[in-house]
Structure 1
């Protein structure tokens, strides 16, 4: 299986617990909207104090239970993520150590940069990202509730959610291109720095200071430009999703108000619909930001793929002897080793 994605099925039980917690938490989140609906439509007209306090206590309990479930979900996610991280890092280092010397997929600085970029992968798969992904399927629950309460207003929310995600989806190729350009420039700058540090006397002897400085500035300029363009695009996508969320809320309230004027809605329906609109679109706003960050993760995974798929010194099909203690006298005669059949011998005893 894949060196990274194959780790996730090992934690099916934890994933099931996370999804169950998300289901209960999202159901409890509906309580605030239902509380507002009942208060404005039934409690206020009848001035029922007892009903008001019963509803308020129930809403507070639901909020507290939702917070506890989300905290437990975050702990489960962090625990599973920590185990996956340790396992993946162990496997990557094992592949790096066992790599054939004549089949290195990247230069030393590239290998170092690829291993370092695993940090962006680790930061992406945090509890916040996993929680966002876990909440996405339950958007359907909120949409069904809005449809049952507010009828046609649900189409406004569906249209708003679609508008939030489309730009982030179509901009993925551009984001990935900027990320690759930035990482390529950084890798070249790293190689240049390594060469200058290790061969500083040679650079001075050959009077290469100006050429090195010029090349260094060019690489840093390219890296800075690509990173800046990527940040601009990411910020634009974030601002777009936030703006669409607010516009969708306003549109839903305006449509609900018009239906109140027509005698089809109540004030409580508008309040509940507004709350559910914000609640439905909140995971989509976070998901749009997640898509903007995915370009960094995908580029990092591509670099790590080169390490994970590099040819190894030891073949899986073969069994190797390993002795902890060697006793006796051994002689090696006429032993020759070469990496390729037509290559020069690397070892000749």
Structure 2
């Protein structure tokens, strides 16, 4: 596991360095190729950029496969214990629902480790590096990028705080919902014989309505914040372009800096 994490960290470092290829390619094209009208330089830059892009793609694939292996190793390590709990727990404590929650939890952990979540965790430390490059291009480009990053971070923190309670309520309601459904299924003959179908139907409607209401509120909030975040990122890219254009007009920066800083910002805030 430690070797896999170390490999992921090293691979992520190289991937984030290679992510600068597009920015520096545009910088060289606007500052060297176009002013010098040099096609050989453009061809050479294109070959270098294409090679770096291919290398980045290979490393991205390796990183994804490593994460898949990490997820499988966690399953292999804890799968036997989870199965043993299915055998032992029913004789010791009363488990709600179908008693397979531990299996679902292990599947959730494996799915997270094999997905894009850990990739974001390895990429986050590189955001200050990209912001620092924006400051190297020009101080006002860096200030604009930093202000945008702070706004997005504040928006993320607010989303986490506001969605924590609805998520907890949703998990509780989902558990009640499945427990009622499972109890009804197990005791279907007794329910029909004793005429409790209508009463259980009303209980199901009540639990299901509360679950759907919670789902609607939490999902609407999440969609709203996601849309706001997307719009804010687009506005920030345009703002950086506007700042860069202003600097070009005032002859404080080149056209390559204007385009490259916009690409760099999109990578930093991705």
> TM-score, normalising length from structure 1?
0.72
Structure 1 residue 94 corresponds to structure 2 residue 84 = yes
In 2, the alpha carbon distance for the partners of 1:163 and 1:195 equals: 48
User: Out of 56, 66, 75, which is 1:66 matched to?
Assistant: 56
65-74 vs 123-132, greater mean Cα deviation: 123-132
Q: Which runs of 5+ in 1 are unaligned?
A: 1-10, 283-349
Partner of 2:234: 246
In 1, the alpha carbon distance for the partners of 2:69 and 2:167 equals: 30
Confirm or deny: 8 A CA contact 2:72 2:110 kept in the other structure.
no
Structure with a larger share of its residues in helix? 2
Confirm or deny: 8 A CA contact 2:144 2:239 kept in the other structure.
yes
In 2, the alpha carbon distance for the partners of 1:254 and 1:17 equals: 40
Partner of 1:42: 32
> CA 1:127/1:211 → structure 2, altered by over 3 Å: closer, same or farther?
closer
254-263 vs 89-98, greater mean Cα deviation: 89-98
Partner of 2:262: 274
Structure 1 residue 168 corresponds to structure 2 residue 156 = yes
Structure 1 residue 260 corresponds to structure 2 residue 248 = yes
Structure 1 residue 185 corresponds to structure 2 residue 180 = no
**1:100 Cα deviation (Å)?**
7.7
**1:117 Cα deviation (Å)?**
4.4
User: Structure 1 residue runs of 4+, over 6 Å off?
Assistant: none
Give 1:105-184 correspondences, 5 Å limit. 107-109=95-97, 111-113=99-101, 115-184=103-172
In 2, the alpha carbon distance for the partners of 1:141 and 1:217 equals: 53
Structure with greater Cα Rg: 1
> CA 1:139/1:171 → structure 2, altered by over 3 Å: closer, same or farther?
closer
> CA 1:190/1:43 → structure 2, altered by over 3 Å: closer, same or farther?
closer
Confirm or deny: 8 A CA contact 2:163 2:218 kept in the other structure.
yes
Partner of 1:234: 222
Structure 1 residue 20 corresponds to structure 2 residue 10 = yes
> CA 1:87/1:228 → structure 2, altered by over 3 Å: closer, same or farther?
farther
77-86 vs 193-202, greater mean Cα deviation: 193-202
> CA 1:198/1:42 → structure 2, altered by over 3 Å: closer, same or farther?
closer
Note the alpha carbon deviations across 1:131-184, whole angstroms, 9 max, x for none.
221111112221222211222211211221221232332232432322222222
Confirm or deny: 8 A CA contact 1:110 1:187 kept in the other structure.
no
> CA 1:259/1:208 → structure 2, altered by over 3 Å: closer, same or farther?
same
SS of residue in 1 equivalent to 2:12: helix
Aligned residues: 270
In 2, the alpha carbon distance for the partners of 1:158 and 1:180 equals: 33
**1:217 Cα deviation (Å)?**
0.6
> CA 1:145/1:174 → structure 2, altered by over 3 Å: closer, same or farther?
closer
Confirm or deny: 8 A CA contact 1:165 1:241 kept in the other structure.
no
Note the alpha carbon deviations across 1:274-313, whole angstroms, 9 max, x for none.
111111111xxxxxxxxxxxxxxxxxxxxxxxxxxxxxxx
Give 1:75-94 correspondences, 5 Å limit. 75-94=65-84
> CA 1:196/1:25 → structure 2, altered by over 3 Å: closer, same or farther?
closer
SS of residue in 1 equivalent to 2:245: helix
In 2, the alpha carbon distance for the partners of 1:41 and 1:81 equals: 45
